[in-house]
């Protein structure tokens, strides 16, 4: 019997052994030369923690305030499509694991399990984190609104609009394997999407950019749904400021896990620039390359309220189903607590930019 995985990297290695090459390429790979994919992880690794010692740590905890709630810790599960590629239980398993560990959960539009199945499995858990629905904007506004209303009726508490993927990235790794969804795995929420008429398509990226999400679409949706709206996929401070003017609930600093535009900046570089521009006027969540508890602590120090975890969740799911996902979350939370204690942080409010800049602590 192989030893129990003790790090997120252990789960990654085991998942690679268990998944077929096509599924691995889809769930793990990035765009083009995968420079941004690697830069995401390296960006957190390059940041140094400057620990303070001999501080009072009694009564410490990992709690954070987010979306009007007190969460046990700042870890949420990112929207990842087609999770039945990793395990037959798919999104239902990862959502159950998130609820069991007090983590927030964001369900993808391209889920392979219906949103109602997922929400019914977790809404009754009093210790669960937030339950949100990620919306990929489609070419039919009426369809988008109907999907948003369906999510509200199913108990989802916010919408997460993905802004950074008007088209798919050039994912060479997938194409080399000839990846396609296997029988029985599909985007169940898009089955009734009206087809894009040929006359509307054009030739520029198959006509998809002409129907991509725009600022006016966000305002249009906000007027028609009672759900708070977050925007995911923001890297530029000017976009963050424009989103703030629209009155969105918050921003997710993301480069789509390096799966869309290669050579886009790592999220560890974008986060402090956006935090500085917004001056605390919007809550920020960050994803991309989070693999250690020290990464979570660094993200909070740079201005994030929470982090989203994507690929490691799929690794845990592929290895042990819901139990694997729960263990991945627990490992990261345990590492976060260790990093906090060793850095002199009793709570996450003690994690400020000074934690990453020893020179500033001379003042």
User: Known catalytic residues?
Assistant: 256
| Separation of first and last alpha carbons in the chain | 54
Contact 87, 318 (CB under 8 A): yes
Tokens of 282: 């919007």
In 3D space, the residue among 152, 134, 304 whose CA is nearest the CA of residue 226 turns out to be 152
Q: What is the DSSP letter of 289?
A: S
Tokens of 207: 């006509």
Q: In 111-236, where does DSSP find H-type helix?
A: 115-122, 141-153, 172-177, 198-201, 215-222
Planar angle of CA 112, 225, 257, nearest 5 degrees: 45
Give the Cβ contact number of residue 6 at 10 Å: 10
- Give the Cα separation of 255 and 252 in Å (integer): 10
Give me the phi and psi of 69, to 5 degrees please. Answer: -130, 155
In 3D space, the residue among 235, 244, 228 whose CA is nearest the CA of residue 282 turns out to be 244
């Amino acid at each position: 019997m192989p030893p129990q995985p003790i790090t997120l990297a252990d789960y990654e290695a085991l998942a690679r052994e268990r998944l077929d090459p096509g599924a691995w390429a889809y769930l793990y790979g990035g765009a083009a030369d995968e420079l941004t994919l690697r830069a995401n992880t390296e960006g957190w690794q390059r940041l140094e923690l400057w620990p303070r010692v001999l501080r009072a740590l009694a009564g410490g905890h990992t709690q954070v305030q987010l979306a009007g709630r007190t969460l046990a810790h700042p870890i949420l599960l990112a929207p990842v499509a087609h999770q039945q590629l990793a395990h037959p239980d798919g999104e239902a398993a990862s959502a159950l694991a998130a609820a069991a560990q007090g983590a927030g959960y964001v369900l993808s539009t391209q889920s392979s399990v219906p949103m109602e199945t997922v929400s019914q499995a977790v809404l009754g858990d009093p210790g669960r984190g937030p339950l949100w629905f990620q919306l990929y904007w489609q070419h039919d506004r009426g369809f988008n609104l109907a999907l948003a209303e369906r999510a509200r009726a199913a108990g989802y508490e916010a919408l997460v609009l993905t802004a950074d993927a008007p088209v798919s990235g050039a994912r060479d790794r997938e194409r080399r394997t000839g990846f396609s969804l296997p029988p029985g795995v599909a985007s169940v929420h898009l089955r009734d999407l009206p087809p894009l008429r040929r006359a509307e398509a054009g030739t520029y990226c198959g006509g998809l950019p002409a129907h991509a999400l725009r600022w006016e679409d966000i305002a249009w949706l906000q007027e028609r749904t009672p759900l708070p709206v977050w925007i995911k996929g923001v890297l530029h401070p000017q976009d963050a400021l424009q989103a703030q003017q629209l009155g969105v609930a918050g921003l997710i600093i993301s480069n789509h896990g390096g799966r869309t535009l290669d050579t886009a900046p790592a999220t560890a570089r974008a986060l402090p620039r956006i935090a500085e521009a917004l001056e605390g006027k919007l809550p920020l969540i960050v994803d991309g390359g989070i693999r250690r508890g020290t990464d979570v602590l660094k993200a909070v120090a740079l201005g994030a309220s929470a982090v989203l975890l994507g690929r490691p969740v799929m690794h845990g799911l592929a290895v042990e189903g819901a139990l694997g996902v729960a263990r991945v979350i627990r490992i990261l939370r345990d590492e976060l607590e260790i990093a906090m204690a060793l850095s002199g942080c009793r709570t996450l409010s003690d994690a400020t930019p000074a934690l990453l800049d020893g020179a500033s602590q001379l003042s």
